[in-house]
Amino acid sequence: MTGPVSVTVRGDWPGIVTLRSGWWKAVARPIHDDTRDAVLRVERSSADFVRRCAETLQELGAGKVVSPPLMRGSDRVFRTAGFVAHAELILFERDLRREVPEMGGVRISTKADREDAARIDAAAFTGDWRVGRLGLTDALQATPISTMLTLEGGEGFAIVGVSVEIGYLQRIAVDPAHQGGGGGRLLLRSSMAWARSRGARTMLLNTQMDNETATQMYRSESFTALPSRLAILRYRR
C-alpha cells in the first residue's frame, strides 16, 4: 500500500475498538478500567498501519499507546512504527511432562467469581500492571482453550490457556489481604495441572523484572527464566 494509510474504527473509545485498513487489522482497549491509555494488539499489519492506529487512538482521546508483551523479532513492526522501549518482562518456561504436584482448594470460576476478578486484580497490582475487566476478557480469549480458576474462598484467581501443546498462564492474582498463605502456589499448580490435562507439554508465563516474590515462587516450582525478555513498547509521537 502506498500513500497515507486510512484507518476505519469500529467500536466506541474508551472501550474495545477494532481498527482496519484493507487487509490489516488491529484491536485496542484501555490498559485498565481507570485509564484512557491504550494497549494496541495487531493481527495483520505494516509499520505504517501500526503508526496510524496509534495516531488514531490518540485522536480519539487515548493517552499513551503501548504494545502487548512482545518477543524480540516480533516487535520489529512496532519499533519501525515509532514505538520505543517502555518495560521489560521475564519469560519463564516449565516442562509439564515432569510431575505436577496435585493440590486441592481450587475450582473452576463461576460468573460471580469472574465479576470479582477485576477487583482482586486492581488490588493486587498497581499502575499499568492492572488489566481491568476488558484485559481479563482478552486474557480468556487469547488461546483456543482457556479457563479461569478460583481459590475455594474466592480470594484469588488464575487465567490459563492452551494452544498447540503450550500452556499459557495469562494472569494470576491473590487479594493482598490473603497473600502469603500459599494461595498463589495453589493457583499455579492447578493451572499447570489443568493445562497438562488438555495436552500441554510446556507452560510459559511472564512477570515484572522487579517482582521478586513471584520470581522466587516460579523458580521453586521448576520454572526456568529464558534468555529472551519480553518487551512492552510505547508509541513516541
Q: Cα(128)–Cα(25) distance, rounded to whole angstroms?
A: 24
The reply to whether 134 and 188 lie within a common domain is yes
**Residue 118 near residue 132 (C-beta atoms within 8 A):** yes
236 within domain boundaries: no
| pLDDT given for residue 1 in this prediction | 43
User: What's the whole-model pTM score?
Assistant: 0.92
The reply to whether 154 and 69 lie within a common domain is no
Structural domain harbouring 199? 91-228
The reply to whether 99 and 214 lie within a common domain is yes
Instruction: Out of 70, 88, 106, pick the residue that ends a domain.
Output: 88
Q: Cα(191)–Cα(168) distance, rounded to whole angstroms?
A: 9
Q: Please determine, for residue 98, whether its predicted confidence score (pLDDT) is greater than 60.
A: yes
Q: Cα(77)–Cα(72) distance, rounded to whole angstroms?
A: 11
Mean pLDDT, the chain, integer:
94
**Nine-digit cell string for 45:** 499489519
CATH of the domain at 219: 3.40.630.30
The reply to whether 166 and 223 lie within a common domain is yes
Q: Tell me whether residue 108 is exposed, middle or buried, using C-beta atoms within 10 angstroms of its C-beta: 0 to 12, 13 to 18, 19 or more.
A: exposed
The reply to whether 100 and 217 lie within a common domain is yes
| pLDDT given for residue 104 in this prediction | 86
Phi, psi of 199 (to 5 degrees): 95, 5
The reply to whether 175 and 107 lie within a common domain is yes
What pLDDT digit, counting tens, does each position of 188-210 carry?
A: 999 999 999 999 999 999 999 99
3 within domain boundaries: no
| pLDDT given for residue 5 in this prediction | 77
| pLDDT given for residue 65 in this prediction | 98
Quick one: average pLDDT of 9-22?
Answer: 95
| pLDDT given for residue 4 in this prediction | 63
Give me the number of domains the chain comprises.
2
Quick one: average pLDDT of 32-56?
Answer: 94
